[in-house]
Each structure stands twice: as C-alpha cells, then as structure tokens.
Amino acid sequence: MNRGEPRPSTTKRGLRTGSRADPGWANKVSPTQRDSIEIVLAADENYAMPLATTMRSVVDTHVGAMTLNFRVLSDGITPESCRKIRESCVPQTSIEFIDCQNQTWPHPEDSAIGYLSRASCLRALIDRSVPEPVERVLYLDTDLLVLDDVEDLWRLPLDEGSAFGAVIDAVVPTHDAFRKGPVVHPRANDHLPYFNAGVLLIDMTAWREQDIGRRTLDVLATPDSVLPYADQDALNYVAAGLWTALD
C-alpha cells in the first residue's frame, strides 16, 4: 500500500474473484474495451518488487482471451525497474508507466496526508492519468497476490450511478465500527457499509462526474481529519452510498 510509514492493513492479501459475471456486459461498454482489461496500479521505487509480484500474479492466473492492459501510476520508479517489470510479463499484455511525479495536490504540513508517501494517494489521481475514452478500470493495490482470473471480476455489473465496486472490509464492515476504538472518524456514527480500497472496479465516467478523486484529496488535506486508515477512510467518506458492494 505504498505507505511512508507502516500502518494497520485491512486488505486480504490473496485476491479471489467472484462468479457473478454479467452476461450482457459486452453490450454496456464501448467496442474498444470489449477485448481488453484495463488494470491500474500505483507505486514508487520502494514498491517496485511488490508491484511486479502483483502484476505477474494477474498474468499467471489469466486464462481468458482478453488482453491485459496495465497502467502503472509511477512516482519515481526507475527505468531499470520498469525494464525488469516488463520482462517479467508475457505476451497478451501491454504495460504503460505513467509518470506522476509532477502531479500536485494539497499537502499542508500538518494535515492527515503528511505521514503518507506520495504514491499512497495516486489512486485518487486516476481520473487525471487515464484517458477519457477508457470507461472502466480495475485498480489493484501493489501488495496483492491474485489467485483467480481477473476477467470474472472485470465483467461484474455495477449498480446504476455507482462510481465503483468494492468489497466490504472484513475488519471494519461499517463506518460506526470505529467507535470501538479511540479514534475519531468523519462518519463514526453512520451505520453504513465500509469498503476496502485495495481492489476497486471503477466506472470512470461516474468517478469523474462525482469528482471522487479531488474530493478524496480534499479530505486528506484537511488538518482536522483523523483517519486511521488514511486514503481508504477518505474514499469511504467521500463515496458513501456511491459504490456497489461486490462478493
């Protein structure tokens, strides 16, 4: 999860996909996305090896005919690491490294974002980094080991108006679960589902329309925010009621 300092993690590291693939999925996306799976990851040089492991696990478990298009949001991954990552993948894949070092966002010295590495917040910049013709992307954290073909996950339907699909967190299933500990959370009294942000199936049109990325960064940059799970908390706060729970 690309953190400047270690923090508790609620993500299950082994990713298995569901089987509720939407049979009419191909009719709901543009022809350009019917033959490829757009996968976005984010890392800096410190996470180059975990990034390569996650990507290779996606490749090794993919048995379908769809092409895997990887887009890596990079905060300083070296050319040598990029070369090694490319070499570790096999045909039927494409890899694009997107340099995000010049991206900017609010970063007050005393804000909640202060203890994070830059790379930990790159998922909030997806709309700035992925071209608009791309309608759907699968975001994966770089500490995941993928155990099943992601094609089944890619084809899952999202509820109307949802910006993304995610899995309810196994440790913190609702926002008000935070009341069990000595922390303050913006929605601490809301009994709403709380998702794990390590795997996001994103509808890019809805993500942009609802301005999820900018609003998430604004929460992170608020000095009074107390966010024990950092950017994951900020995403949950911003997207409450705007996401689909996946199995």
- Please provide residue 9's backbone torsions phi and psi, each rounded to the nearest 5 degrees: -120, 140
As a whole number of angstroms, the distance between CA 123 and CA 98 comes to: 12
pTM of the complete model: 0.82
> What is the full per-residue pLDDT of the chain (247 aa) written as tens digits?
343 333 333 333 555 555 455 555 454 555 445 689 999 999 999 999 999 999 999 999 999 889 999 999 999 999 999 999 999 887 678 999 999 888 766 554 545 556 667 787 888 889 888 888 899 999 999 989 999 999 999 999 999 999 999 999 887 767 666 654 444 555 555 778 889 999 999 999 999 999 999 988 888 777 766 777 778 888 988 898 899 999 7
Structure tokens given for 217 = 């960064």
Give one DSSP letter per residue of 96-134, joined into a string.
EEEE-TT------TTSGGGGS-GGGGGGGGHHHHS-TT-
Judged on CB neighbours under 10 Å (0-12, 13-18, 19+), 181 is: exposed
